[in-house]
Chains A and B, each alone.
Chain A
Amino acid sequence: MLRRLRAWGPGLLLISPSLIALAVFVYGFLGWNIRVSLSSWRGLLPAHDFVGLANYTALASDPRFMQYDVPNIAIFTVVFVAGSLVVGFVLALLLDRAEFGQHALRSLYLFPMAISFIATAIIWRWLMDNGGGESTTGLNKLLVDAGLGSLRSDWFKSSSRWAIAAIALPAGWSLSGYVMSLFLAGMRGVPEELREAARVDGASEPRVFWHVVRPMLLPVLMSAVVILAHISLKTFDLFYAMDQKNIKIDTPALYMWFTTFDGGFYARGAAIAALLLLGVATVIVPYIWYSVRAERVK
């Protein structure tokens, strides 16, 4: 026993500061947040009472949460995830066989990811300006000049329920290059001999892709969906910098911020945050479990 302890003890000691820090800042804080969500804390002084699930049931009948935030984040997630997947996949497909200029093009599609969501929002807020007539500008101006005036849109300032879908444009601009990189890496991972064998059997290139490459891209697809979905749920700054007072693009992450730090409704904010955590954990925990296990089998 002592010998074994001497063998792995130093290692455990070396990483213990990190483990303790994460135990407190991740698990301790998450737990404490759930505790706050079960209290009635409102205002400056924390309340340590226990009101059960009252904050959660209140949210269930809260119009801002149920009629705006939840449908909004659902619409945004679907449009953003599906859009980024399609664009990223098409880019990867086009680039995979492009022998000339591949590196430069790949860098070009990827660079928006290096730009902060705040700067992205500031640029795109002007691009998606909804002015009409003489003051038409941004994307609408381009559309009108291209003779596609009928496509002009009020974007995120639209009164439609789908206004938030416009935010998928800057979000997708930022992240579809990432999806492209994931798919490209996946396509590279398919051994050339496998493709060659199919070709020798007389398969055309599209058939080689469909029968040999496509099945091996499923894990990549799963990674991409999980990563995009969790980014979608937790993103705050993009919406905040875009138009923070616009209920049409309000999300649970924004409501949590405003109700907690502007309104002082700490318990309600904690309940919203706990629901976000639940949403993220349902996609992330199986994913981590699968990844760590798949690696061990290797």
Chain B
Amino acid sequence: MTAAPARGHGRIRSPWAPYTTTARYLALFALACLFILPVYALLVTALKLPAEVSVVRMWQWPHELSLDNFRIVWPKLRDGFGNSVAMALPASALSSLLGAANGFVLSKWRFPGADFAFALILFGMFIPYQAVLIPMFQTMSASGLRGGLSGLIMVHVIYGLPITTLIFRSYFAGISDELIEAARVDGAGMLRTFAFVALPIAPPAFAVAMIWQFTSAWNDFLFGVLLTNKDRWPITVALNNIAGSQAVPFNEAMASALLACLPTLAVYVVLGRFFLRGLMAGALKG
């Protein structure tokens, strides 16, 4: 996205402008409160003393801040957390690297039918995963990849390829052809051009692709629950089993949910603009 041009120049200010501006901010503020509401309940509950927690006092500010809830749930979530880290990091790195190669070829080293191949790749991003679950279950079981993390990583890498390919294809399409041509004229083959010309200028696209893939893999539930055994459950599956029933104490459910989304929220807060670019790519608007 390019920077928006300066706004408001030469516009005749309506006499109502101060009122519309006030109304605008009142509306924005009210909506912001509504969006924060669930997180407010989550935070104050997780930070209360377990003895103070009661569902009917959900909205009350804690008398005393405490991390006890986290101490209670962390031992139950720890394995899932570790599994998700061990799964999401390699899955996003591998998927991005392959996506970089695909995006480079499909934009700068094109072959006949490259656009058609791209459309076929893209479709994989939108399929309802229900329609591949049974064959996936059979294939992964038969090949012994079901149960542990390697099968889950493999599946996340493969189903991540459409979006990473899209991100890198859009990125490389914005790079001038002359750069690539210059390397070609110098006698560099495709692999050398990719490795020494394209990759060094691609860190921004890597940031977008890796963040997007990390978030998807971290938040995935369906593949995790289908492909892993209890000791290899990713965080979402562990969370659903710990907090996924009304019988679980309210404070533990909230503390678990908060712990489980900390990494993606941290990524979002620190690297939000890359997250946003991934979103835009997802709408085929890279």
Provide the residues of chain A in CB contact with B41, threshold 8 Å. 123, 126-127, 138
Taking CB atoms and an 8 Å cut-off, the chain B residues in 163-189 that contact chain A are 165, 189
Contact with B along A113-127 (1 / 0, CB 8 A): 111111100111111
Assess A192 versus B132: contact at CB under 8 Å? Given A21-B158, A123-B38, A236-B221.
no
Please give the distance in Å from A291's CB to the nearest CB on chain B.
Answer: 4
Provide the residues of chain A in CB contact with B19, threshold 8 Å. none
Interface SS, B side: helix
Provide the residues of chain A in CB contact with B280, threshold 8 Å. 181-182, 185
Q: Which residue of A lies closest to B26 (CB)?
A: A94
* B65: Cβ under 8 A from any A Cβ: no
Chain B interface residue count: which class? 35 or more
Provide the residues of chain A in CB contact with B24, threshold 8 Å. 94, 97-98
Assess A125 versus B5: contact at CB under 8 Å? Given A11-B110, A98-B25, A223-B283.
no
Contact segment of A26-34, A53-61, A148-156: A26-34
Contact between chains at B134 and A260 (CB < 8 Å): yes
Taking CB atoms and an 8 Å cut-off, the chain B residues in 147-167 that contact chain A are 155, 158-159, 161-162, 165
Of the residues B27, B39, B101, B132, contact of A29 by C-beta under 8 Å: B132
Provide the residues of chain A in CB contact with B218, threshold 8 Å. 116
Provide the residues of chain A in CB contact with B226, threshold 8 Å. 261
Assess A230 versus B131: contact at CB under 8 Å? Given A10-B109, A15-B102, A122-B243.
no
* B70: Cβ under 8 A from any A Cβ: no
Please give the distance in Å from A167's CB to the nearest CB on chain B.
Answer: 14
Please give the distance in Å from B112's CB to the nearest CB on chain A.
Answer: 7
Provide the residues of chain A in CB contact with B42, threshold 8 Å. 123
Contact with A along B125-156 (1 / 0, CB 8 A): 01111111111111100000000000000010
* A47: Cβ under 8 A from any B Cβ: no
Report which A residues bind B (CB closer than 8 A): 8-12, 14-15, 17-19, 21-22, 25-30, 32-33, 36, 46, 87, 90-91, 94-95, 97-100, 105, 107-119, 122-127, 129, 131, 134-138, 141-142, 173, 177-178, 181-182, 185, 188, 192, 196, 199, 204-205, 223-224, 227, 230, 233-234, 236-237, 240-241, 252-253, 256-257, 260-261, 266, 269-270, 272-274, 276-277, 279-280, 284-285, 287-289, 291-292, 296
